Amino acid sequence: MQYAPSRLGRGNALPGTPQQKSIEPHLSLSAFLVQLLNGLASASSLFLVAAGLSIIFGVTRIVNFAHGSLYMLGTYIAYSLVKVFGGGMLGFWGGVLCAGIAVGLFGALVERLLLRRLYHAPELLQLLATFALVLIIRDFALWTWGAEDLLGPRAPGLGGAIDIAGRQFPEYDLLLIALGPLVLGLLWLLLTRTRWGTLVRAATEDREMAGALGVNQAWLFTSVFALGSFLAGLGGAIQIPREPAVLTMDLTILSDVFVVVVVGGMGSIPGAFLAAVIIGVLKAMCIGIGIGNVSALGIDFSFSKLTLVVEFIVMAVVLVIRPWGLLGRQQSIPRGAASVEPPLYLPPPALLKGLAAALLMLALLPLFSDRYTLVLLTDILVFALFAVSLHFIMGPAGMHSFGHAAYFGLGAYAAALLFKHAVPMEAALLLAPLVGGLGALVFGWFCVRLSGVYLAMLTLAFAQIAWSVVYQWDAFTGGSNGLVGIWPANWLASKTAFYYLALALCAGGVILLWRIVFSPFGYALRAGRDSPLRADAIGIDVRRQQWLGFALAGVLAGLAGAVHAFSKGSISPDTLSIPRSVDGLVMVLMGGIQTLTGAVAGAALFTWLQDSIARQTEFWRALLGGIILFLVLAFPQGIAGFIRERWDARKDAE
Amino acid sequence: MESVSHGKSRSESNEDDVNLREKHMIARRAFLLGTVTLAMAAIFSDPAAAQGTIKIGEMNSYKVFPAFLEPYKKGWELALDEINAAGGVLGRKLEVVSRDDGGNPGEAVRVAEELLSRENVAFLVGTFPSHVGLAVADFAKQKKVLFIAAEPLTDKIVWQNGNKYTFRLRPSTYMQTAMLIPEAVKLKKKRWAIVYPNYEYGQSATAAFKELLKKAQPDVEFVAEQAPALGKIEAGAVAQALADAKPDAIFSSLFGADLTKFVREGQTRGLFKDRVVFNLLAGEPEYLDPLKEDTPAGWYVTGYPWQSINTPEHKKFLAAYQKKYKDYPRLGSIVGYATLKTAAEAIRKATSLDQEKLVAAMKGLQVDTPIGRITFRALDHQATMGAYVGRLGVKDGKGVMSSFSFADGAKFLPADDAVRKMRPAE
Amino acid sequence: MTETIVLRVSNLSKSYGGVQAVNAVSFSLASGELLALIGPNGAGKTTCFNLLNGQIAADSGSTEFEGRSLIGLKPRQIWRLGVGRTFQITATFASMTVRENVQTALLNFHGRLNSLVSLAERLYVDEAIELLARVGIAEQAARPCAVLAYGDLKRVELAIALANRPRLLLMDEPTAGMAPRERAALMRLTAELARASAIAVLFTEHDMDVVFAHADRVIVLNRGCIIAEGKPAEVRANREVQQVYLGSGSLFGAEHA
């Protein structure tokens, strides 16, 4: 039997554009109603997890990356407990509840043993610690429960479905729909009717004031972390009848939960509920509509594809209109009072000599190193520029970005697409950064209107929107497969030649950015960060400076992306995905956000660790997490920050 | 470098703050130190060159897809044992240098470079996700090094993006979809609904299915199409949307957690009642086993019914595998096993590690695998490995493929002319 | 010293939800003159101040600086016209040295803020040191602002505010949070600077010692309205003012002391 794939010959036809006329885009009222219920059922679990994250953030200001991991642990533990207890009424619900409690206790432990040591560290360092936990918990789950997906039993007595509007609707989903408002109500009672709740609210609104009220802060933080973790664990546990425990569910839920918390307004529990419902229902509606005809474009479009990105579109829209989320309040002090930035001095001659010597060594390295060293160093150079460009906006400009990979990826794709459309490699390399900069100019215009975590989440939203476009636009970007065959021109084909190119461009870019930090423009950025009020009063248009700084960082990130594309010969949507953005954050924080050289040190260390550890052990992820934890605890000021401190101490002793 | 001279003149010019400056002098030597450490580590790490063995570079996304790749690793380890127990190839033992590529094309290309330049491997095998496979394939083409892609299903790796140095073992998305078509045509169902994970594999499977079914059965209608994001299916909503379209039959290319969720929701909501369902890959133990008693009986699937394959070569493999690992094989085990067997056969046939000779040997190479002899077609470098097509059933609370037949991959490929048109000239 | 009018405020009004925070306030300020804006808490001083410097928009009325309307301008635009400001709680750039703080203001004043290539630290060094010398903290130029004593920070602010060679200084509670001796010194310095450079100074103040010792003229606000205006001695003698301040004691403390 032979089939001639006429359409396959032209690449993959877009499955969303079938010729059939029989597709029914209309959503009948009854279908709409049931999809509404579907959305509400999904929203409940999302709300539980999001409420936990929101409470934790509200009180401790920790951006808890490990929250998804706690959710995952909840699912796995519940699966195991229900298996041990048996699937009876008591066994099932006992197992679910115990799983939540176990995760709550684990969260309390994490807070006491780890995070407590980091409250006085530079801001966002807790984020790095929780990122390390993600790595460790993932490998712990793999080690404990194995790689196979684990589907739990149906809930006893609720395994069936009832008839709603002529459709079979799962009984368990009805329970979930009720659970969301129930938990919301209980939390409301807890927060408004108990002394503990009053303290939590006080701390959420004004951390310093709560301290002044004589609140036992240590105990409050631990209990808040325990409650938040319990909610995450419970949110995971109640999923066992609906979905299997899988090792990727930690990150899958994490981005959704962050979106819910931010859309609702960080620290606002009713806001989280509202946002969870909006997003849950919107997703169900996209699916319910199925294929619709977008008459403006004259094409059929499968709305179900929108589920890839719809929550991020919602977040972007909400943040642009309401910069503190739907029910959030303006953060009283966007930057923690504890985080006064240290002064930044021009590098002393000794350091400049050191940097020059390092550059010279890098330039001479090809004479006596093997080819792979050059390949690894090329990667390190690329990521160093990427990390320094991120540090430029996070450090001196004081804008946290969780979506910096967008500009890296835009640069990479621009380089690749220009090259594919017959632009010479050299020209593509030079034009691509401008595309990164243009992207940053557009996204940045909205981002600089926000501050703090909201700004960071808006950068994330834009990055995800850019990612989903690249991921979906098969005809232009190669879709999920990406683009291949992006190799450098002949004169740069050798690893040595390309290494020199990367060295020239990346080191050049890094030096340029460092230099700009000490230029009047850099001073204006720091002025806007240190005191927007004063900056405004001396005539500085803070937003405009931040905007331009954002765009400038985008240009340099784009340059890094373009060099990256040609060094690999291929690119895929991974180049602008969340993990790439997180890598950048980790590099900056590992090196030390308060030192200029920190980003370079962090990029070098992180890339080198990833490369070397992955070879050493099967559980390299946990090992990497362990190393990061060690670094966080030993050097909260970062590697470069630590070296600087030691240097200062020696100088003082002399 | 401009700032070097500035830095010097500055400390000379401003005497007023020199003292303070010294006190607060910040030496950010981290960059230098970091670079030195790095360079040292890079330079002095030993190449671990074991003399006399032939090294094969294997890379895969072990940590990203452990459910498939742990059995895969066991598979090639078993093959390695057997090959070396039988004296290796060309009188030398085989050695596999295995690396995790992180499921990321950029990292994969770096790992490939490391395997080639530092480990001096003879050639490359492995990879799982399509985008990683395509990136490494293009890298192989650039480096003129043989690459045997083990897992990636994308049609492009041998067709649109095919190249001289890349060969692919597993039956592709197109082939496996085509294997389901005869059964689908036989049922003469008119209204079809489709659900697929929203990325290249699902898109290709859907396109191929619609194309092939329409050709064989022109009156077919596709009444609904759902494309949930990979790993993030809202199963309840999707199941209901499909049911609302009132299809006679459903074609799905979901797998993994998406499939598990879809099955449970669909069953609770009665979506599969009186409807036939075709699901690519769902008979593979990696995706079937988690379903246990939820396994939807009667579904048409491609897969690997390891319990019931009674060919001598499979029995031998099964016994050896169970003896070594006290565990049963998954499809990944077969793929891993066959990949390394292929590597050994290629070297044996080429009698050399020269890339051109290896590539020549790969063309038309025949390899015996636990599921039959396969041939790497000279035409498009695709192996003719087949798959089992059958229907799901539940036995002792576990999912099995109850009635199945073997579909030979060679029979489910497009006509040679069509293939030639798709493949770029070498 | 000339008697040119620098700032002219007429009928300035602002209400919040029906409460008239500032009600038809009119006054003018001549160059070199120190005008104090006083009144009990909630009298509308701060609102009035923020209306002038562009932080909030007025409901009606006009403010003119050297004949140009300030209505609708943003703080940074008002700065560009030649208006300097200090804040009740000092706002300086903590990550910079004292000198760099002043340099940053100078950079913007000289239109060099968008330069990417020059080293900011090298620019306008002498001018910055000179400004710091004028406020008496040149010896602290190289210290980071974060480690400065509060009184010194106030002086840094003053130096920053002088960077754009202002003809008008708006000082919100310039001596708040300072020790009494420091207060006198700072206001003496301010008065000297104002007279030497013909700068008009408008300041709000709680400390009546400071007001009566240094202000050329005083305006008293109560419930958004000006209830008295004149020389310190006249204002002190005003019965209505005395009534407003009755019980607080602070107004007459100086007199009886």
Kindly list the structural domains of chain C, giving each domain's residue range(s) and its CATH number in brackets, ordered by start.
5-92+165-256 (3.40.50.300)
Among A301, A321, A341, residue at a domain's last position = A321
Do the beta carbons of residue C167 and residue A542 sit within 8 Å? no
Helices then strands, counting H and E runs in chain C, come out as 10, 10
Do the beta carbons of residue C86 and residue C171 sit within 8 Å? yes
Q: What ipTM was assigned to the predicted interfaces of this complex?
A: 0.90
**Cβ distance of B17 and C141 shorter than 8 Å:** yes
CB proximity under 8 Å: A 8-67 to C: none
Q: What CATH number does the domain containing A244 carry? A: 1.10.3470
Q: What is the pLDDT of residues A68-125, one digit of tens each?
A: 999 999 999 999 999 999 878 899 999 999 999 999 999 999 999 998 888 877 768 8
Nearest-CA distance from C111 to chain A in Å?
A: 10
Q: Are residues A380 and A311 in the same domain?
A: no
**Sheet (strand C5-16) strand order:** C19-30, C5-16, C60-65, C68-69
Nearest CA-CA partner of C203 in C183, C187, C184: C187
CB contact, 8 Å: A611 with chain C? no
Structure-token pair, residue B167: 């060969």
Do the beta carbons of residue A623 and residue A617 sit within 8 Å? yes
CA of B309: how far to CAs of A350, A628, C143, in Å?
72, 48, 81
pLDDT at A111: 93
Chain C residue with the nearest C-alpha to that of B13: C122
pLDDT at A506: 95
- Residue A440: pLDDT over 60: yes
pLDDT at C223: 86
Q: Among A519, A530, A539, select the one facing C79 at the smallest CB separation.
A: A539
At B379 the three-state DSSP class reads coil
Chain C residue with the nearest C-alpha to that of A532: C91
Domain count, chain A: 2
Do the beta carbons of residue A399 and residue A444 sit within 8 Å? no
Among A291, A321, A351, residue at a domain's last position = A321
Q: Are residues A415 and A285 in the same domain?
A: no
Q: Are residues A154 and A233 in the same domain?
A: yes
- Mean per-residue pLDDT for C138-164? 90
Q: Are residues A587 and A472 in the same domain?
A: yes
**Cβ distance of A539 and C95 shorter than 8 Å:** no
Do the beta carbons of residue A276 and residue A43 sit within 8 Å? yes
Task: Give the residue, A25 or A271, on which the prediction is more confident.
Answer: A271
CB contact, 8 Å: C147 with chain A? no
Q: What angle do CA A567, A573, A577 make, to 5 degrees?
A: 105
pLDDT at A17: 42
Q: What percent of chain A has pLDDT over 70?
A: 91
Nearest-CA distance from C142 to chain B in Å?
A: 5
For chain A, the average pLDDT equals 87
**Cβ distance of A524 and C108 shorter than 8 Å:** yes
Distance separating alpha carbons of residues B351 and B357, to the nearest angstrom: 8
- Residue A550: pLDDT over 90: yes
- Residue A244: pLDDT over 50: yes
**Cβ distance of C116 and A519 shorter than 8 Å:** yes
**Sheet (strand B387-395) strand order:** B221-226, B191-195, B249-252, B276-283, B300-303, B387-395, B398-407
pLDDT at A305: 82
- Residue C229: pLDDT over 80: yes
Best A518, A538, A543, A545 residue to mutate vs chain C (most C CBs within 10 Å): A538
Structure-token pair, residue A454: 């909201």
- Mean per-residue pLDDT for A515-542? 92
B265: chain A residues, CB-CB within 8 Å: 170, 242
Nearest-CA distance from B3 to chain C in Å?
A: 9
Q: What is the pLDDT of residues A505-514, one digit of tens each?
A: 999 999 999 9
Q: Name the neighbours of A, counting chains with at least 3 Cβ pairs within 8 A.
A: B, C
pLDDT at B42: 45
Q: Are residues A160 and A253 in the same domain?
A: yes
Owner of token pair 């979901």:
B254
Q: Among A149, A370, A380, select the one facing B257 at the smallest CB separation.
A: A149
Q: Among A520, A530, A534, select the one facing C95 at the smallest CB separation.
A: A530
Nearest CA-CA partner of A644 in A431, A378, A408, A344: A344
**Cβ distance of B10 and C122 shorter than 8 Å:** yes
Distance separating alpha carbons of residues A571 and A579, to the nearest angstrom: 15
Q: Among A344, A521, A539, select the one facing C116 at the smallest CB separation.
A: A521
**Cβ distance of A358 and B161 shorter than 8 Å:** no
CA B264, B265, B267, B268 torsion-angle sign? positive
Helices then strands, counting H and E runs in chain A, come out as 26, 6
Cβ pairs bridging B and C (under 8 Å):
20
A331 within a domain of the structure (yes/no): no
Nearest CA-CA partner of A571 in B10, B225, B132: B132
Q: What is the pLDDT of residues A34-84, one digit of tens each?
A: 999 999 999 998 999 999 999 998 888 888 999 999 999 999 999 999 999
Distance separating alpha carbons of residues B9 and A330, to the nearest angstrom: 46
Do the beta carbons of residue B146 and residue B140 sit within 8 Å? yes
Q: Are residues A68 and A188 in the same domain?
A: yes
Distance separating alpha carbons of residues A163 and A48, to the nearest angstrom: 27
Do the beta carbons of residue C187 and residue C211 sit within 8 Å? no
Lowest-confidence segment of A374-388, A423-437, A627-641, C210-224 by average pLDDT: A627-641
Nearest-CA distance from C157 to chain B in Å?
A: 20
CATH code for the domain defined by B54-172+310-385: 3.40.50.2300
Q: Are residues A311 and A392 in the same domain?
A: no
Distance separating alpha carbons of residues A393 and A413, to the nearest angstrom: 22
CA C46, C52, C53, C57 torsion-angle sign? positive
- Mean per-residue pLDDT for A530-538? 90
Instruction: Kindly give the interhelix angle for A310-321 and A269-289, rounded to the nearest 10 degrees.
Output: 130
Structure-token pair, residue A595: 């030192």
Q: Residue A170: beta bridge partners?
A: A161
At A40 the three-state DSSP class reads helix
Q: Are residues A92 and A210 in the same domain?
A: yes
B23: chain A residues, CB-CB within 8 Å: 651-652
A571: chain B residues, CB-CB within 8 Å: 105-106
pLDDT at A616: 72
Distance separating alpha carbons of residues A630 and A613, to the nearest angstrom: 15
Distance separating alpha carbons of residues B295 and B274, to the nearest angstrom: 16
Do the beta carbons of residue A651 and residue B23 sit within 8 Å? yes
Q: Are residues A443 and A297 in the same domain?
A: no
- Mean per-residue pLDDT for A550-578? 95
**Cβ distance of B3 and A643 shorter than 8 Å:** no
Nearest-CA distance from B201 to chain A in Å?
A: 9
- Mean per-residue pLDDT for A509-523? 94
Domain of A231 in residue numbering reads as 29-321
Q: Among C74, C96, C163, select the one facing A526 at the smallest CB separation.
A: C96
Strands A299-302 and A291-294: antiparallel
CB contact, 8 Å: A347 with chain C? no
B24: chain C residues, CB-CB within 8 Å: 144
CB contact, 8 Å: C193 with chain A? no
A343 within a domain of the structure (yes/no): no
Nearest-CA distance from C162 to chain A in Å?
A: 10
Q: What is the pLDDT along chain B (426 residues), one digit of tens a residue?
A: 333 334 334 334 444 444 444 334 334 444 444 444 544 444 444 443 345 899 999 999 998 899 899 999 999 999 999 999 999 999 999 999 999 998 999 999 999 999 999 999 999 999 999 999 999 999 999 999 999 999 999 999 999 999 999 999 999 999 999 999 999 999 999 999 999 999 989 999 999 999 999 999 999 999 989 999 988 999 999 999 999 989 999 999 999 999 999 999 999 999 999 999 999 999 999 999 999 999 999 999 999 999 999 999 999 999 999 999 999 999 999 999 999 999 999 999 999 999 999 999 999 999 999 999 999 999 999 999 999 999 999 999 999 998 899 999 999 999 999 999 998 887
Distance separating alpha carbons of residues B212 and A62, to the nearest angstrom: 54
A355 within a domain of the structure (yes/no): no
pLDDT at C257: 33
CATH code for the domain defined by B174-307+389-411: 3.40.50.2300
C115: chain B residues, CB-CB within 8 Å: none
Distance separating alpha carbons of residues A24 and A293, to the nearest angstrom: 10
